[in-house]
Every structure is written in structure tokens, then in C-alpha cells.
Amino acid sequence: MGLTNTPQDVLALMEKENVQVVDLRFMDFPGLWQHFSVPAHAIDADSFEEGLGFDGSSIRGWQAINESDMIVKPVADSAFIDPFTTHKTLVMICNICDPITGEDYTRDPRNIARKAENYIKSAGIADIAYFGPEAEFFIFDDIRFDQNEHSGYYFLDSVEGRWNTGREEGPNLGYKPRYKEGYFPVQPTDSMHDIRTEMMLTMESMGIPVEAHHHEVATGGQSEIDMRFGKLVWMADNLLKYKYIIKNTAKKHGKTVTFMPKPIWNDNGSGMHIHMSFWKDNKNLFYGDNYAGLSQTALYAIGGLLKHAPAVLAFTNPTTNSYKRLVPGYEAPVNLAYSQRNRSAAVRIPMYSASEKAKRFEFRCPDPSSNPYLAFAAMVMAAVDGIQNKIEPGEPLDKDIYDLPPQEAAKVPKTPGSLRAALEALEADHEFLLRGDVFTEDVVETWIDYKMENEVTALDLRPHPWEFSLYYDI
């Protein structure tokens, strides 16, 4: 599904396009794209087999300083011409390998996703896992933040921000979406239309099929661009390209993008609903004659995902900010239930297309701060556990969950209330991730330790501005 298929295709493309620079990219452990560049003449046919060396000791969550050397092996099928660089640059996504053994590095997130893709085949579950993430994001005009020993603050701004209806803008034209009403009036209220269109067309030019783009619910430039579904690893690769295109297109226009789940208090946050289906022998395993047109296999998959959701959320909702979105009242799915229409349920079965080809379910908890390789892999492993162990998901919940009587609502399991709680759930429940050596004990332990030390505890130690409003005069 890439733009090229073989190393020879890449070398031919480089010659045809007069490429001057090759940019080699890979994913760090928490979920940021990293890169280094080499002159075009440094890449030949052997580079794809032998790889290129780099120092892995400074990559977050990776090697110790005494075992720092690593190898990147470019993936020919991932090659594309970078539309944002001054000099003609070809980009390739890479796999990470140990320079001594030559084996794939176990902490490389892309390797984990590749192993998940292979596991469903070796276990006889399916040939293909399809994913369709719907990532939301904010387009801001300005962001300032700092935290030190004597102060802590953030200031963000958007020409669309409802808070700017009274600002002198010379002139202020007043078309600013009301809180929770950004979904989705036409221009001029939707002032981000042309920027999103440019983002979409750039994606299409790079081989990423797009289904739609639109403004989202929140004020302040919240947006969504929907890519067409694809295979697990290919889709995770595309999501990284998606973020890269969106951020750099915004920068061209003097704007800034964040995939932070909840940057604006008291308005909707950014989720990343993920559609998933398993296929085997060209047949959709999730299509059937049970509830909402699902198969029994799909119901078992939902059962596994709901059972392991608290642990899975440590990967699909991996930031402290993630749990400021997962609260009642903002369309966020805090209830671990499934439904054919209810968008407040963690798992929803879309009903706008009932065909076999389109049948799938949607996991609504994840957000776009996640590392897609790890998020998709964790979802697959939870669903596979449900199928292998015939885990029933219980009865569907088609009522408005937020309007249930307190006694009935209390019976519906809830998502973790914090990153700490999700990491504790992962620590207690991760055996399902270890099957097929997809995740390893080292990966799980390193993830928990890194997140606890660098994010959970780091935030716990710092006073919050709102605490001064609550407690200063005590």
C-alpha cells in the first residue's frame, strides 16, 4: 500500500526526483517521531539489508548508555517525498535492530505492531486486522506555557476562540463557534476550512486516502480529518504522516496544532475513535446475524476489549491529560459498555452501513496522544484474548447512559479515572499482551516505570494554579 515496493523502486524514485537528502524516521517509546538525515549518495541497495547505525541511548525509554549503538533499517514501502523541506528530501520509516544480533529491537514500537499483525495469523485468528482511527486536534494561533519553582501557567489563543468575542481585532467579525457548538457550521464560522483542505490534499498526494474533513465540536479551531481504514502497521505509519502533515501545514500558515486530548477546560476534548475489524480468507469475521449485525466472533472480541480496557487504556490514553477528557458531559465514553448507537458507550457499532464489507466496531476511548503502534497492538491482543477465551461482553446498553438511575448506572463499569489508575490496571492485567511475544515483560515494565516517573509523579509534585484558588486563604 506504499508509494513504492522495493529498494530498487526507491533508488529509481530518488534518481527521478533528484533527491538530495534521505530522512530516516522511527518512533520513540512514548510516541514522538524521531529522525536523522543523510546525503542521498549514502543510500544504496545494501542500506535496506544492513541498515545504518545511530546512538540509541538518548531516545526516551530505550538503551542504556553502555549499550547505545542501534541500527535503523529503512522500509522501502514507506518512502515518500517530503512536501515541507527546502531541499528535495525522501523520507523512509525504519525498523530498529540490535547491531550485534541483528534482531528486531523489542522496545521498538513498530516492531511490537508488526508482531501483533503476525500473531493473529500464527494463532489462526485472522489474516488481516483493519484499523480506522479518527484523530481530532486543535488549530491554535498562539500557545505559551511554563512551570518553575515560583510560577505555573499556560495561555492559548485562537482567532476562533469564543473567549475572543469581545477582543478588539480591527475589526472583530464575530464568527466564533460557541462552546460545544463547533460541529459543524459552514464558513465564515468555520475559518479553518481552507487549511484543512490543504492538509487533506497533501495527504492524498502522499498516498494517504482521506474520506472527509470537518470542524469538530469545540470552539478554538477543533478539527478532524478522517483517513480511510488500512492494515495495522500501514495505518499506524499513516497516522504518523498524518500528524506530520497537519502540524507542518499549520506552521506554514502561522498556526500551531496540538493533539493533546484536553487543552481547553469546559469544552469538548480531542478523541481518536478507532474502528477495527478482523478478516480471513477475504471474509469479514465481524459480520453476522447477532446484535447489530455482528458475528459471535465480534462479540467475543468486544468482550475481550471491555474486560481488558483499563489496562489497554494505559496505551490508548497514555497521558495525564487524557483523563481530563474521559469525564461525563463532553461526549467522552467513560462507561465500559457496548451499543449500536449510544456514543457514550466505550464500544459502538456504527449502523450507517450494514454491509459485510463495512461491518466493524468502534472503540471510542482512545485519544490522539497515543503511540499508534502500541495502541493498535494492545487493542488487537485484547480482542484476540476475547475470541480465544470466548469472553461474552454482556448485554448491550442502548439507553442514554448518562440518564440512567444511580443504582443502574453504578453497575456499568467505568474507565480508569487517571493515568496512575490505568498503569496500575496494566501492571495487574497484562498476561494477554505477552502472548506470541508481542509485548514483553520488559516493554510493559519499562512503559509503566517511564510513565510513572516522568509524567504521573512529575505532575503530582507540582502545585496546580487552581489549588491557589481553592486553598491559598486557608
Q: How many angstroms separate the Cα of 88 from the Cα of each of 3, 20, 36, 76, 460?
A: 17, 5, 15, 18, 45
Q: Which residues form the catalytic set?
A: 55, 134, 136, 216, 224, 273, 343, 362, 364
Say if CB 94 and CB 24 are below 8 A apart. Answer: yes
CA angle 131, 133, 134 (to 5 degrees): 150
Closest by Cα among 356, 191, 367, 406 to 270: 367
Distance CA 168, CA 383 (A): 53
Say if CB 344 and CB 271 are below 8 A apart. Answer: no
Distance CA 138, CA 262 (A): 10
CA 312 to chain centre: 13
In 232-295, which residue ranges form alpha helices assigned H by DSSP?
232-252
Distance CA 275, CA 178 (A): 29
Residue given cell 470466548 in the structure block: 390
